[in-house]
């Protein structure tokens, strides 16, 4: 059913068990005996099963990429890209979006029940690698009976997953779209994530990762982590145009409290994040990004995948140099790869929005 806004209308999240034939073995050698993945699908799989497009989400995304959940106030996080007639056209493609392993939106993660103890894993949840995210994606494809992807599409951490997957299974993905992605974080990127994790780990309510046993959550630490991270997702231009130096001048002197409008905005971002994300998932999903170095891990692999790389001129979290590195590494291996830097005022978050030319490039490449 097409919605009044031309989108997908009401959609629902589904769940698949990936470990019916044995545990999921992680890159570290640790095993997860029971793994469920939350996912959504849009469109119909063709009789020849050759029109599947897998969507990989960024750090704090989930399986709800498009359409509307019953009673929701907003659509899925990439609804402007996915739907009937849109760049990822659900009239043509069977689109699969899945929540990451280690997440907190329906896929097995730190707050899931450990079958060995009957209690949530908590701090005992095993460390993850980018390869583990892909292992879960692969398991979901097998569950759905999809042998090969027409395309895989991801922004930010989602693009990193797509790159890892294309190097792991060089013949399974026909096309790959990597938007505002990286193949190796800079020291500055790692530093930002280190501060965010420290805010969580040093919150008194973290309780060595056992906060759920004490009926508390490290709200302050998670809020600060999100506030700081959000600054890196936007651009200096977008913040200046939206807030400038405007202040909340009502009431008493606020020199030691939130005063500028941008401060209130970040407070709101931090508070709203607490309603939808878990601190342990934040820790487990940020760390694999620090260690990600797929060209070092998969030396000599020549993917048959065709790559489209897109970066944005105001993105200072994963600036264009990151995409250029991916382009050069792939080209050196003989892979077919194109890159475009697009103009956008919105910084890293541009991959979620509609800068000029962005959706047109995705549409043309998938076609």
CATH number, domain at 323? 3.40.50.1820
| Four-point Cα dihedral 160, 166, 167, 171, nearest 10 | 180
Q: Is 226 annotated as a binding residue?
A: yes
**Least trusted range by pLDDT, from 5-9, 13-17, 47-51, 241-245:** 5-9
The pLDDT of residue 106: 95
The whole-number pLDDT of residue 333 equals 95
Same-domain status, 46 and 31: yes
| 315 catalytic residue (yes or no) | yes
Residue 2 has pLDDT above 70, yes or no: no
Evaluate whether residue 140 is within a structural domain.
Answer: yes
Residue 266 belongs to a domain with what CATH number?
1.10.1740.110
Cα angle 45, 49, 54 (rounded to 5 degrees) comes to 70
Confidence at residue 253, expressed as pLDDT on a 0 to 100 scale: 61
Q: How many domains does the chain have?
A: 2
Q: Which residue segment(s) compose the domain that 330 sits in?
A: 14-184+293-366
Q: Are residues 277 and 262 in the same domain?
A: yes
Residues 69, 166: one domain?
yes
The confidence score (pLDDT) of residue 254 equals 63
pLDDT (0 to 100) of residue 160: 98
- 1 domain residue, yes or no: no
pLDDT at 194 over 60: yes
Look over the chain and give the mean of its residue pLDDT values, rounded to a whole number. Answer: 95
Beta-strand pair 82-83/88-89? parallel
Domain match, 195 and 178 both = no
Going by the DSSP 8-state scheme, the letter that residue 345 receives in this structure is S
pLDDT at 255: 67
pLDDT at position 185: 97
Query: What value does the mean pLDDT take over residues 287-299?
Result: 95
Residue 9 included in any domain: no
Catalytic residue among 105, 112, 135, 156: 156
Among this protein's residues, is 278 annotated catalytic?
A: no
- Domain boundary residue, one of 238, 263, 286: 286
From 315, 322, 339, 344, the catalytic residue: 315
| C-beta atoms surrounding 287 within 10 Å | 17
For residues 39 and 110, state if they share a domain.
yes
Annotation-wise, does 349 bind a ligand?
yes
By three-state DSSP, how is residue 254 classified? Answer: coil
Determine which one of 137, 150, 298, 348 is catalytic. 348
């Amino acid at each position: 059913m097409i919605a009044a806004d031309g989108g997908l209308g009401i959609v629902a999240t589904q769940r698949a068990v990936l470990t019916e034939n044995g545990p999921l073995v992680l890159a570290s050698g640790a095993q997860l005996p029971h793994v469920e993945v939350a996912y959504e699908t849009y469109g119909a799989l063709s009789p020849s099963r050759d029109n599947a497009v897998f969507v990989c989400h960024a750090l704090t995304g989930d399986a709800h990429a498009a359409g509307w959940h019953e009673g929701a106030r907003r659509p899925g996080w990439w609804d402007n890209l996915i739907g009937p007639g849109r760049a990822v056209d659900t009239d043509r493609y069977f689109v699969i979006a899945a929540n990451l392993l280690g997440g907190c939106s329906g896929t097995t993660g730190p707050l899931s029940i450990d079958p060995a103890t009957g209690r949530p894993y908590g701090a005992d949840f095993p460390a993850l690698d980018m390869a583990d995210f892909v292992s879960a994606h692969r398991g979901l494809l097998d569950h759905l009976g999809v042998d090969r992807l027409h395309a895989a599409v991801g922004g930010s951490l989602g693009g990193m997953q797509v790159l890892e997957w294309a190097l792991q299974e060089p013949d399974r993905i026909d096309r790959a779209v990597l938007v505002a992605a990286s193949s190796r974080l800079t020291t500055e990127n790692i530093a930002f994530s280190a501060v965010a994790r420290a805010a969580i780990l040093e919150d008194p309510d973290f309780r060595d990762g056992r906060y759920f046993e004490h009926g508390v959550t490290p709200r302050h630490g998670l809020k600060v982590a999100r506030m700081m991270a959000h600054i890196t997702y936007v651009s200096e231009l977008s913040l200046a145009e939206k807030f400038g130096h405007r202040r909340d001048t009502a009431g008493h002197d606020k020199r030691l409290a939130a005063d500028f409008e941008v401060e209130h905005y970040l407070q709101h971002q931090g508070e709203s994040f607490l309603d939808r994300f878990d601190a342990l998932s934040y820790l487990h999903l940020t760390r694999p990004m620090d260690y990600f170095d797929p060209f070092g891990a998969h030396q000599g692999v020549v993917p048959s995948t065709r790559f489209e790389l897109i970066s944005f001129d105001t993105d200072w979290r994963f600036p264009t140099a990151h995409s250029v590195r991916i382009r050069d590494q792939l080209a050196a291996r003989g892979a077919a790869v194109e890159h475009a830097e697009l103009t956008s005022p919105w910084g890293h978050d541009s991959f979620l929005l509609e800068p000029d030319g962005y959706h047109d490039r995705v549409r043309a490449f998938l076609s």
